[in-house]
Structure 1
Amino acid sequence: MKQPLGSVAQIAYIVDNIEEAIEKWSGFLTAGPFFVIDNFEIIDPKYRGEAMKDVNIRLALGYSGGMCIEFIEQISEGASVYSEVLAEKGYCFHHWAYMTENFDEDVQKHLDQGLEVCFSGAAGVGGRFVYMDAREQIQSMVEIIEFTPPVAEFFAMIEGASENWDGKDPIRYLT
């Protein structure tokens, strides 16, 4: 991972069609390839402190240099951190993300700064995450990702695919 732990490592957008977003970005900004995950597994998802019963999102992750770019397409209906922003702004930039080995301490630091946890859970690949609502402070959400060995391996695979990428096959599906 080229970005140091604790620094911005990812920029995320809410999109209405992941494949269209990938085609635009990979051709326009030389970003990719992008790895698509249908029905991204979220363990124990909570939205604004309440358990979520039906959360179905598609993700696409790719790199441009050392920056991870994430596209999020919400499939399920209902309230979420994504539908909140969609209602305000439509499809747009959603959040910055950083990775940390000091997950609990970093969450507490942001709580002490007045931010609120608005979405939390654990990714199926093996690390916790939280979204902190920082729209009043920096006009976006902030995601904190717990940096574990499986998370490191997952992001290293995606980043590695971007190195010397020839621009072919910008969309790759993970199962």
Structure 2
Amino acid sequence: MTGTKTAPFAGRLIQTAFTTADIRETMREMTARLGIGPWFLRERGVFRNQVYRGQPATTALAIAMGYAGDMQFEIIQQLDDSPSVYREAAERSGHGLHHFGVAWTDYDAALAHYRSLGFTLAYSAEVANGARVAYFDTHGTLPAMVEAIELLPATEAMFGRFQAAARGWDGSDPVRPLA
């Protein structure tokens, strides 16, 4: 890649995320073929303060997270018909790679950074442990959206527990429910 400059960057790539029509089948396949696991599954959740393309949203999701090495993998299944970043991507190109999750300790700096690159804020919400996330539409530039994840101490601890469970995992108890 000639002529490509690295942008000033304070985030850390920690996640690769996918959408699916069947979260349990996708977990099984990714475990069997890629060794990802165990999975931590929230069967149904509606995040607080969702905003999709400038409008309030109430999208219901099933979400699973698991690790292979240092990379976190996330699988998302939308459970309703509401407009969302998940539905728009699936309608555009089918289920599969959806976003890259980048952890930031300074959420406002993350928003400013991606906006300075010309990316449009497509979705934001408050997720587990009160952390905020923001998805930026990178269509035409990157092969998936970018999610800025606010890395609060509680969020980092949760991810650390998930990753620790993956180290030396023997394949037992492959799906672990989350409240």
Please, what TM-score do these two structures have when normalized by structure 1?
0.93
- Unmatched segments (≥5 aa) in structure 1: none
Whether 2:54 is the aligned partner of 1:49: answer yes
Q: For residues 156 and 85 of structure 1, what CA distance do their matches in structure 2 show?
A: 29
RMSD, aligned CA: 1.1
Q: Secondary structure at the match of 2:49?
A: strand
Partner residue in 1 for 2:20:
15
Q: Would you say the 8 A contact 1:32–1:162 is kept in 2?
A: yes
Identity %: 29
Q: For 1:107 and 1:7, how far apart are their aligned partners in 2? A: 14
- Deviations along 1:81-115, one digit per CA (max 9) or x if unpaired, are 00101111111110001101111011111111110
After superposition, the C-alpha distances for 1:48-93 in whole angstroms (9 at most, x for unaligned) are: 01111x3100000000000000000000112100010111111111
1: distance between equivalents of 2:142 and 2:59? 26
The aligned counterpart of 1:129 is: 133
Superposed structure 1 runs of 4+ greater than 3 Å apart: none
Tell which has more relative contact order, 1 or 2 (C-alpha 8 A, sep 6+). 1
The residue number in structure 1 matching 2:38 is 33
Q: Deviations over 1:12-39 (max 9, x none)?
A: 0001111111111111111100010122
Would you say the 8 A contact 2:101–2:148 is kept in 1?
yes
SS at match of 1:26: helix
Q: Secondary structure at the match of 2:177?
A: strand
Matches within 5 A, 1:77-88: 77-88=81-92
> Is the counterpart of residue 149 in structure 1 residue 153 in structure 2?
yes
In the comparison of the two structures, how many residue pairs are matched?
Answer: 170
Cα contact 2:128–2:155 (8 A) shared by 1: no
Q: What residue is the counterpart of 2:3 in the other structure? A: none
- Report the Cα distance in structure 2 between the residues aligned to 1:112 and 1:99, rounded to whole angstroms: 18
| Distance (Å, rounded) in 1 between the aligned partners of 2:128 and 2:36 | 25
- Is the CA contact 2:39–2:66 (under 8 Å) kept in the aligned structure 1? yes
Q: Residues 11 and 110 of structure 2 are in contact (CA less than 8 Å); yes or no, is this contact kept in structure 1? A: no
1:115-142 CA-to-partner distances (Å, cap 9, x unmatched) read 0000001103220100000112112100
Number of the residue aligned with 2:165: 161
**What secondary structure sits across from 2:146 in the alignment?**
strand
The DSSP-based 3-state class of the residue aligned with 1:79 is coil
**2:69 is matched by which residue type in structure 1?**
G
1:117 aligns with 2:121: yes
Shift of 1:151: 0.5
